[in-house]
Every structure is written in C-alpha cells, then in structure tokens.
Chain A
C-alpha cells in the first residue's frame, strides 16, 4: 500500500516536474532570418510552433530571403544589419558565407549548446567540422547537398547501357558518347552530359582528380596545379572533341534534363522536386573517379548573433529549427538532404530516386565547396575564366594563368583589408 502511495506521489511529482519543464513563462521577442522558399518557410513555421509549446510567451518574427541575388547580396545585408545595430537573433546561412561571418566575429560559439544536446551526435561529424573556425563551432547544420551524377534511366535503357556504378572518367566519357544522339545532318538532338555552368556543380571534377581551384586552407589560388589544367582539358574535350555537351551558357540545363534532352547532369538533391513533378525515371550515381571519388558538399546552418539579448533562448530556437522533426519534414519536402542521419533514413526520403540512400553513404567522401572570406570574388573570377576556357575564348594554359593572377590579386586585397 505504502509503495503504491509512494508510486502515485512519484508519478504526480514527475508530472508536475515535466509540466514545469514544458512551459516556460519567459517573455521575449526573437527575430529569425532564414533563407529558402515556401517548403523551408513551412518547416520553419512548424518548428517555431513546437518551440512555442515550450516558450509560449516568446514571439518569433521570421524573415526569409530567397537568395535570388546570390550569397554576396545576403552577406552584405547581414553585415549592414549589424552595422545599423539592427541584427537578428538567429541567422540561417550557407557554407559559402561561413568564413566571411566567422572572421567578422558576429556570431557566438555554440559548442556548449551542442555538448548539452546529445541528439546532435546524429549528424555526420564532417558537417560540424566544416561549421567550425579556430576550434569553435558557430553553425548548426541543416540541409546539405552533395553533387552526384543524375541520370535518365530511360535513356540508358534505350542505349542498352548498364546503370553506372563505381566508374572512372574514361568510362563516363564512353557512356556520354553513347548517350549523345545526332540527326542526319550531324546536329545534336540529345546530349550525353551537361558540362556544368556553375561553380558548385563543377567542383567534383577537380576533387576526383585530387586537386582544387584553391589551396587546402583556401588562402591562395591553386590554378597552376597541372591537374587543374588536366581537369579543364577533360571537360573542354567533352564539349569540343566528343561533342557530348554544349558549351556552358548562362542558363543551367535542368529543364532539358527533365525533358530527356540531356541524359546526365551534375546536381544535388534539390533537383528531385522537379524530377518528381516531371515523372522522370531517374537515379543518381557517384561522381566518376580519376584518383578518388570525392564530391563536393554545400550546406546551410543556423547561427546566433553575438548582439542577441537572449542568447540562450536563441540557442533553444536553433535547437527547434534543427530538431529531428524539423529535419524530417525538410528532408521530405525536398531541397536538401537532412543533416541528421535518422531524418535521411525515413521511407519518405528513401522513396525516390532508387539510390537515395547513396546521398548519405557518400558523405564521408565529400569536401566542402571552397569558401574563403572572399568567396563571392573567387567564384566570379573562376567562373568567368572557366566559361571563357570552355567556350574556347582563351586557351587553357592562358586561362589558368589569368585566373591564378586574378585570384591571387583578390586574396591580396582581402589580406590588405583584414590587416587594417
């Protein structure tokens, strides 16, 4: 009897205790600046609703930036907000901007918060590694994207080709040739591959050749590495010798891929949303290897401003925004692979494409997109010269020299600005 009474008492006490932990009467206003589209906004609103069950008196104002003018524009906005003493409490941003923000010291380290939340062990450690600067973690990762070869299965079947797996550059080249169709006059009606027209998509070609456009610590150009020229030559030959790809233009060829006019394309997880709408019979394959099969990864993360009046509440909000529920929802809505492994293993996530599990499996073989503090400049310089080389406006030896010079000038300017 006594033990039964004690049990009841304990249960009541627990219930009271839990109730107290659940609702917190702190009153505050938090401002959140996130990025993305409707899918992200929906998931964010749901996350805030969950946050508000614990903190009913904390009002969260959301602003969402579609990043339609690129990350450079976003960085300028964020820095100007700090300059005007009008910073938000929590910022969502992407790896391209991490270094810029970290070197400016505008966010607070989140290591204590991460240590207190054992559930963050569910994230692949590499994501946290790339979110750190000088030994401190400033961002909690959300969705990420790694570049894979996306291919049209129907066109593979038509050409009598096996689905690709563990392939090399040369095998890829052969497959691309077989997937390219021409009419009687020799004009291409179906391209085997799209040589990428964006910085992020083209990086795996350098990584799989064991090189990169910048050096390892992103402090100088690596354009003069002969492997960079070799990679560019390979891509150039795909266009001009094998004629399996058009010259990279201003517009990416997603629509042509969805319409079956391009058989293979280098893209991330975000393309699936449209592929599903177009009922495209597609799958993903790892990037073809030369010396390894490393691909590139880009991802987003949340950070807390050092000017926030409620840093602990802001951290709790980040916790809600990166919780398992939010990540699952974001993963299934599309746009990126969830940072949490558990969220990338739901049936909804694995349903499409057939090899969806490969996204997470290839994570150990990824390197982040080179994102120094002058990322915007670096990206522009590389892409301008890359397109000039791919369109035969400048020879590859001259192009790499010019890009090298311009990149190093940009790093010099950066160093001069940081010194002052």
Chain B
C-alpha cells in the first residue's frame, strides 16, 4: 500500500479516516450536534474534492479504479448524503432518536457507495455493497420503539441478505467461468473467449442483486413497506443514493461484459422486459396509493424503470443519461421526502389529503413541493425533464423507439398521482385551522429546489460532467 495508492484513492482514503475521526469524536464528546457538524464538513470536503479534476488510474493493484466516472458518482453520493443529514436533524430530534451515530452511519453508507462506484474488482464491489446495505438496514431500524419501523428493517434486512447471497453466488460463478475477479480482466477474457452458460448464470444472479437494490420489478415487493416504515430521512437516502450506487456499479459491470451483451437480443429482450414491467407496475400501483410515502415508493420503482431504459440502450449516451438522471432524481426525491419529513413532525400526517391547504399556510413550502412533484413528472423547465429527455433520446438512438414510447406514456400516467398532491396542497381547504403552525421550512429544501430548477435550465455543466465521466468509464 504505497503512498501513491492512498493519494490516488484520496476520496476513499479521506472518507475512511474521517469515519474514524467521527467515531472517536462521538465516543469522547457524545454530542450529536458536533458529530452532525463534522459529518457535514466531511461531506463538503468530499464534494469539493469531486469538483476538481484529479489523477486517474488503478489503485491498490487493480482493486480500485479512480476516474471522472467514479468522481461523478461520488459527487452524487456525497451531495445526497449531505442533503439527507441536513434534512434529518429536526426529524430525529422530534422522534427522540437524535443520535450522533446516525450521522456516522450515513457517512459510512456513503463510503460504501463510493467503493461500489470505484470498484475494479468484484470483491471490492461486494464489500462496498455490503457496507452500504448494512448501513441502510441500521438506518431503517433506528426508530427502535416503532413497530412499523422494526418490521420494515427486518423485511429489508432479510430480503437484502438474500439478494446479497445471489449477488455473491453470481460473482463466484463468473469467477469460475472466466477465472478472473478483476472486472477489466473478465472483459478481456470475454473478448477472447465465448461466454459459457456458467457465465450467464453468474451474470443473471448478479443482476438479481442489482435489480433488488434498484427495486426493479419483480424484485420490488419490499420497497413500499420498507419506505413506509423507515424513518423518512433514511428512506430518502435509501431511495436515492443507494439506487444511484447500484446503477453506477451496474454500468461498470455491464460495460466490462459489453462484448457479450452488445447486440445480444436475449439480453436486450430480458432487460427491456424488466424495464417495461418496472415502469408500468410502478406507475400503475402508485396511482392507487393514498399514503404519500408509499406513493413515492412506487414512483421510485417507476423511476428505476426509466433509468433501466438508459441501461438497455447500451450506448455511452444512455449510460451518461443514467448518471445525469441519478443526480437529478436524487435531488428531487430527497427534496420530496424532506418535505414529507417536515410535515410528519407535526403529527402523523402521511396521506395526500393531510396536505390540504398547505399552500394557504406555508406557500413557499407548498411551492417547493409542487416543484419537486412537477420535476418528478418530467415537465420542463425542471431537471427531471432534461434527465428523462436524455434517457428516452438514448433509447431512440439505439433503435429502441418502442421502449421510449412506453416510457413516455408511463410518465404521462405518473402526472396523475403527482398532481394529486399538488391539487390537495393548492386547491383544497385545510382540514383544520393552523394545521401546519409548527412547520418550519428548512432552507436546504429551497436550495434543492433551486438546484433542480437550474439543472433544467442550464444543464450543460452537469451533462458535460456526466458525459466526461462516461468517456473514462471503460478505457483508460
């Protein structure tokens, strides 16, 4: 472990050291507020680090691969992490679970995601996945006294463990089939030899693991229950950054086996079937949800479907669209869950009708929420539109116009349930006077709304970042 490796993998080195610092500080000072501040500082440093170009290459003997690709992904993770913890504070205090450990676990989860995005070796990929998953299991169950949260955590843990098992089994079969665990060496092997059925089983099993994490149909059943039961800020992290991490890792794997998947009609058929099912089932099921968290859970399934369209497209344009969408989606979904978390603190207000009259009492908050809903629908001039446009354009480019048609129609359906929230907030009278008296708008939400808006009007910078990332995703 030369110094050079440590410097090359600076984000990960830094995050590791910072984790230890956080644990030491929390153990000695025992002040959640302090841990919160330090964690935010850690995230801020990471974000800043990602915005500057840095050296690229393999670190630790082809275990990690640092490139603009991992940089973009790490940027998304660190930004999501930062936003989630700033939105968590008051919620945790209200629920009486304001532990400093919460922030540490969020930070470690982010570290796990960073490992996934930078992994060049299947073992590192798996360890990253496990770090992220275990952190999320804990975050789901952190409300120990709440029965539903316990159920959610248990369900998530059991099913997650199964999916990890599949994933690991897949890795071992691929190792058996190719004799390699380093991703690019697997790629080289596959270019020189034809893939055996053993390899395909291995890849399918790995896909099961990935599809579970991104909650694609038919591996989605855990999503609504877990999202509903978990503390809302944890749900925000679960539905955004962890999906983004799974997608970035998925892209790395698919890129390295692309000699087998490109123009492979079976592969495209299987994946596009899953994408269509995910979009359709997610959107249709979301239509009938009254509970807002469940609604967003199904909508997050649908969004995973849109992103899968980019993966099916199998072109650089498609992958970079997925990256960009992961960023925008993370922002708007964290925003939406952030608003829910604020309202929930007031009382157990979770169904759409509880939001009636929000506009009258808290116009800015209602406006921000409406912006997130419209952006999730994919209406310009918000970021969600540019993201969807890129995804579907990539599908058309790759000759999968029918997939784009399904996607576009599915997102038209989604307008109904997103707008329902807007209808309640803006057009209905409140159920009781001063219902939202104690709700204080978190400035972070306004910041997120601004970002979502800017990503819709001036997407160039970030799109370029994502495009640049894809250039370095495969070839060095």
* A in complex with B: no
Binding site for B on A (CB under 8 A): none
Interface residues of B (CB under 8 A from A): none
